[in-house]
Amino acid sequence: MTYKFTIEKANAFTKENSQSVKNQFKPEIHFTAPIGWINDPNGFIFFKGEYHLFYQHYPYGSEWGPMHWGHAKTKDFLTWEHLPIALAPDMPYDKDGCFSGSAIVKDDKLWLMYTGNIIDAENGNQQVQNMAYSTDGITFKKLDKNPVATGEILPDTIVKSDFRDPKVFEKDGIYYAVVAAQDKKHVGSIILLSSLNLIDWSFESIFLEGQKNQGVMWECPDYFEIDGTSYLVLSPMRFPRDQFHFTNINSSVILKGEVDWETKTFKMDSLTELDQGHDFYAPQTLVDEKGRRIMIAWMHTWGRTLPTHELNHKWAGQMTMPRELHPFENGIKQAFLVEVVENLPTLPLNQAVETAGKLVTNPSSSIHYRLGEEGDAIHFGYDQEEDIVYINRSEQAQVIKGEEEWPIDLKASKIKADKLTVIIDKNAIEIIVNDGQAVLSSTYYLTNSQPILEETKSKWVTNE
Domains in the chain with CATH codes: 7-336 (2.115.10.20), 344-456 (2.60.120.560)
Exposure string of 162-199, with b = 16+ CB inside 10 Å and e = fewer, is: bbbbbbbbeeeeebbbbbbbbbeeebbbbbbbbbeebe
Other C-beta atoms lying within 10 Å of the C-beta of residue 364: 8
Q: Is the pLDDT of residue 18 over 70?
A: yes
Residue among 277, 267, 301 at smallest CA distance from 409: 277
Q: What pLDDT score was predicted for residue 11?
A: 98
Q: What pLDDT score was predicted for residue 457?
A: 85
Of 40, 183, 222, 425, catalytic = 40
Q: For all residues of the chain together, what is the average pLDDT?
A: 96
Q: Which helix (H) or strand (E) holds 22?
A: none
Q: Is the pLDDT of residue 243 over 90?
A: no
What are the pLDDT digits (tens) for 382-441? Answer: 999 999 999 999 999 999 999 998 999 999 999 999 999 999 999 999 999 999 999 999
Residue among 234, 240, 239, 235 at smallest CA distance from 255: 234
Task: Indicate the pLDDT class of residue 463, thresholds 50, 70 and 90.
Answer: low
8 A C-beta contact, residue 415 and residue 431: no
What are the pLDDT digits (tens) for 59-78? Answer: 999 999 999 999 999 999 99
Mean pLDDT across 279-288:
98
Q: What pLDDT score was predicted for residue 1?
A: 58
Other C-beta atoms lying within 10 Å of the C-beta of residue 267: 12
Q: Is the pLDDT of residue 331 over 90?
A: no
Cα gap 325→333, rounded to integer Å: 6
Q: Looking at per-residue confidence, does 347 or 331 come out higher?
A: 347
Instruction: Report CA-CA distances (Å) from 383 to 276, 331, 367, 388, 408.
Output: 16, 24, 7, 5, 19
Which stretch of 327-336, 349-358, 385-394 has the lowest confidence by average pLDDT?
327-336
Q: Looking at per-residue confidence, does 8 or 3 come out higher?
A: 8
Q: What pLDDT score was predicted for residue 5?
A: 96
Exposure string of 389-401, with b = 16+ CB inside 10 Å and e = fewer, is: bbbbbbbbebebe
Q: What pLDDT score was predicted for residue 242?
A: 86
**Catalytic residue check, 40:** yes
Q: What pLDDT score was predicted for residue 2?
A: 63
DSSP class of residue 18?
A: G
Instruction: Give CA 187 to chain center in angstroms.
Output: 21
Task: Indicate the pLDDT class of residue 461, thresholds 50, 70 and 90.
Answer: low
Q: What pLDDT score was predicted for residue 213?
A: 87
What are the pLDDT digits (tens) for 90-125? Answer: 999 999 999 999 999 999 999 999 999 999 877 788
Q: Looking at per-residue confidence, does 139 or 330 come out higher?
A: 139
The string of DSSP letters for 348-365 reads PTTEE--S-EEEEE--SS
Alpha helices (H) along 319-412 = 338-342
What are the pLDDT digits (tens) for 294-323? Answer: 999 999 999 999 999 999 999 999 999 999
Q: Looking at per-residue confidence, does 216 or 88 come out higher?
A: 88
8 A C-beta contact, residue 233 and residue 274: yes
8 A C-beta contact, residue 417 and residue 363: yes
Q: Is the pLDDT of residue 464 over 60?
A: no
Q: Is the pLDDT of residue 458 over 80?
A: no
Instruction: Give CA 84 to chain center in angstroms.
Output: 21
8 A C-beta contact, residue 420 and residue 320: no
pTM tops 0.95: yes
Cα gap 218→281, rounded to integer Å: 11
